[in-house]
Amino acid sequence: MSRMLTAKDNQPTAMNRRDPQTGGLVQVMPGRDEYAVPPQGTYGRFKLTGISDTFEMVSPKYGLQTKARLEFQILKVQDTESKYLEGRRFTGLYTWTVGQKSNLGALLGALRGQPIQPGENVNPDDFIDTEFVTTTTLAHSADGSKSYADVSAGSIATNKTVLSKWLTTPKQPELAPAGGGEEELDDPFAVDDSDL
């Protein structure tokens, strides 16, 4: 039995991005010139612009895991020396689970301003086009030859987050007076002050 392998061409991972007209997801093959690695601690406004298809990776600590790359665009940076990064993208590697302790669950929970709860169904694709303010992190390969940027979920400013219009969240029920309709608004425990 023979298994043929194709040499990797070092192209970026295909990304599922939103079509601005239809809102549907389309798979694109980004160019290398779209990407840059922001320095550790870069503070700015970012946008989740894409999510790769899932793939399997083996970790010495956790074994076989399903992973995905999330793509972020740098919309605006605070540091004038880093303005060259604006408009560029980078990707972070995420485990394809949304538990409270997973890096994907922490990110999505921080974006929406409340943690993911056990048993809750979450569609990460709905978060594509969400804009937020945070800082970047930077990890290095064991041999130091590669740098991997990501966003800091713990530093996301919830009050500056603009959720994707494609994110379908449960609607809040309309508030109703306790006890029912307006005809029942008389206070049964009212005190008549005229006798005091």
Cβ neighbors of 77 (< 8 A, separation 6 or more) are 38, 42, 43, 44, 83, 85, 86
Cβ-Cβ contacts under 8 Å for 57 (sequence gap 6 or more)? 64, 65, 67
Calculate mean pLDDT across residues 58-70: 91
| pLDDT at position 105 over 50 | yes
pLDDT score at 194: 52
pTM, entire model: 0.80
Which H helix or E strand runs over 131? Answer: strand 131-140
pLDDT at 75 over 70: yes
**pLDDT value at position 4?**
58
Q: Give the pLDDT score at 99.
A: 85
pLDDT tens for residues 21-33?
Answer: 999 999 999 999 9
Average predicted confidence (pLDDT) for the chain: 85
pLDDT of 102 over the 80 cut: yes
Give the pLDDT score at 100.
78
Task: Tell me the three state secondary structure of residue 55.
Answer: strand
Higher pLDDT, 157 or 4: 157
98-111 b/e (C-beta count within 10 Å ≥ 16 → b): beeebbbbbbbbbb
Structure confidence at residue 51 as a pLDDT band (50, 70, 90) = very high
Read off the tokens for 5.
């392998």
Least confident of 2-11, 126-135, 160-169: 2-11
pLDDT for residue 192 is more than 60:
no
Calculate ∠ Cα 175-179-180, nearest 5°.
60
**What is the predicted pLDDT for the residue at 196?**
44
Rounded to an integer, the average pLDDT of 41-49 is: 97
Q: Where are the domains of the chain?
A: 15-166
Q: Which value, to the nearest 10 degrees, does the dihedral of the CA atoms of residues 138, 105, 17, 136 take?
A: -20
Exposed/middle/buried for residue 190 (C-beta within 10 Å: 0-12, 13-18, 19+)? exposed
What is the predicted pLDDT for the residue at 172? 39
Angle at the Cα of 68 from the Cα atoms of 167 and 112, rounded to 5 degrees: 30
Question: DSSP alpha helices (H): ranges in the chain?
Answer: 103-112
